[in-house]
Chain A
């Protein structure tokens, strides 16, 4: 019988298997063990979300709690990656990248190019992302476009537990710096996840739903929302194809072009803010490469150009909903929004 795991447990299992396979894999971050130096129990937290719970007992010496000092420990992970370790650093919320971004974009991302191809920096920086937790403006962002913009970084944002395990294992084995973004609201969602270790290659989108009328291109939390919208639209006679990009850098545009050439209609769905987003990037690429296939204008369904609000009344409006996604699809079908 197939086994199901939550995304959270899939991350735990991927880290467990990779640390067991390779002793140079070390995991470090704030409270990833929890309670270090405190009088209470060991493994008190296992990370702010409990993702790394239990790993310290299986891999003592390979998990390291850090001080609340992101510049120092993210930089240390990057430095260690150039010196023979394969660190997986956890940044509790991607919003905290602001305090350590120099180490990510001026150091890790540039070493290989700037040093003439002689450096390898096999570091993974995991961070939670996304809205819907009532966590407000500094703990809820979808900052995928910022990392995707930077040459030298690879950017992963999975939508389900199966992909998460395979993509995290690939990230750890990859010899380039990888930003691995985990949507908090997907953590408890379960899918079938094989117990054995497996890697999913970067740059291969998956077709989450096959359809012939409209193509939705999206990633992360917006994948299940787009699938939900597709079921609504099915009842209206609209057959939607949903493409889950899975990795944003590298990005699999061939799969997008093939789908748009078939459907002639494109809706880009992105939880990030709209300007210079993954949505606008995909829309531009389709305009450049598959313009002749389009039967009408491209639609974008994104968060607004505003910070993430706290009040539930506002946050629910901020996040692209299945209803708004369905409206975006109807718009490309030449119908009035409901």
Chain B
């Protein structure tokens, strides 16, 4: 059988499993949030899976990512344990951060996940540090910082692009452009017409891709990550993508055009686009995807049940882990 894709059959199924896991995780959270069981702010990545997974398929544990407030998808794509994530979102002692971080601060440094971040644009300086460490320690790890079209206007992001360029750091600046900074349109809030032009202003290559097309993301990410690993310095990668839900759970989304969400789901669902391509090429079969769907649904169900049943942090934990040594 002829495989026209840049990934093996196994690679395609892995990518599908990861995207499907993110989608299922987020769709279930959307439902569970509405019941009132989940506290705080939750920002869902549903609709944006092809970007996170298309990039992270190129990464190993020693590669670092700095994520955003919309970090669940990045975590899953980077290999953070789904059950620990779910327990964290429920504020439980078994959570990835022992219940002290919540949705906006899930991290797993052992997997190279430096943290979701509640401060927009804050990951860009941090990832420069990851790139500097790779340079100084002499390994080929790369650092990837994600930020939205909104945070692309933060001074931290622009300063970091300059710093990465002058130090030739192995760092990729990924703009996840979903068209909305919270409720405000990218057309209003971003002065330049093209992020590629912004990259050029810092002397680095920039690529814009259709972020709903897994293969476009995968190919472009492969190129900029390879360049960074080989000492070629930083790049910018803009993924134009779709946010299926609001800025946060509970957002009435009155800023959207009538029918916009429905049209996006119908025509610009990155998972449907991906499965359409691999099924049409005959590289995988519907039944194989159905098996993955079923396994993923079980995993998320287990994660949810586990999170709900898990113990809350004990009162003694209130003041632990403020410092390494006191």
Contacts and interface: CB of A to CB of B under 8 A. Distances in A.
Interface residues of A, number: 45
Contact of A103 (B101, B125, B136, B320): B125
B101 A115 contact: yes
Interface stretch (A12-20, A74-82, A235-243, A330-338): A74-82
B96 interface: yes
A77 B130 CA distance: 9
A4 interface: no
A277 interface: no
Q: Which of B98, B118, B129 has the most CB of A within 10 A?
A: B129
B156 A71 contact: yes
B236 interface: no
A313 interface: no
A64 B322 CA distance: 30
B134 A83 contact: yes
B249 to A, nearest CB: 21
Contacts of B108: 118
B114 interface: yes
Contacts of B167: 64
B128 interface: yes
B130 A75 contact: no
Interface in B144-191: 155-156, 159-160, 162-163, 166-167
Interface stretch (A106-114, A134-142, A160-168): A106-114
Contacts of B128: 72-73, 75-76, 79
B132 A85 contact: yes
A293 interface: no
Nearest to A36: B166
Interface residues of B, number: 48
Contacts, number: 153
Contacts of A113: 100, 321-322
A115 B96 CA distance: 7
Q: Which of A71, A77, A84 has the most CB of B within 10 A?
A: A71
B325 A72 contact: no
Contacts of B114: 79, 82
A116 B96 contact: yes
Contacts of B115: 111, 114-115
Interface of A: 24, 26, 61, 64, 66-67, 69, 71-85, 87, 102-103, 106-107, 111-120, 151-152, 154, 174-176, 203, 250
Interface of B: 64, 66, 95-101, 105, 107-110, 114-115, 117-119, 122, 124-130, 132-134, 136-137, 143, 155-156, 159-160, 162-163, 166-167, 320-326
24 contacts: A24-B136, A24-B137, A26-B136, A66-B163, A67-B162, A69-B159, A69-B162, A69-B163, A72-B162, A76-B129, A78-B129, A102-B119, A111-B107, A112-B321, A113-B322, A114-B115, A116-B96, A116-B99, A118-B109, A120-B324, A152-B323, A175-B324, A176-B324, A203-B326
Given A77-B129, A174-B325, A175-B324, 10 more contacts: A69-B159, A69-B162, A75-B122, A75-B124, A79-B126, A80-B132, A87-B129, A103-B156, A114-B97, A116-B98
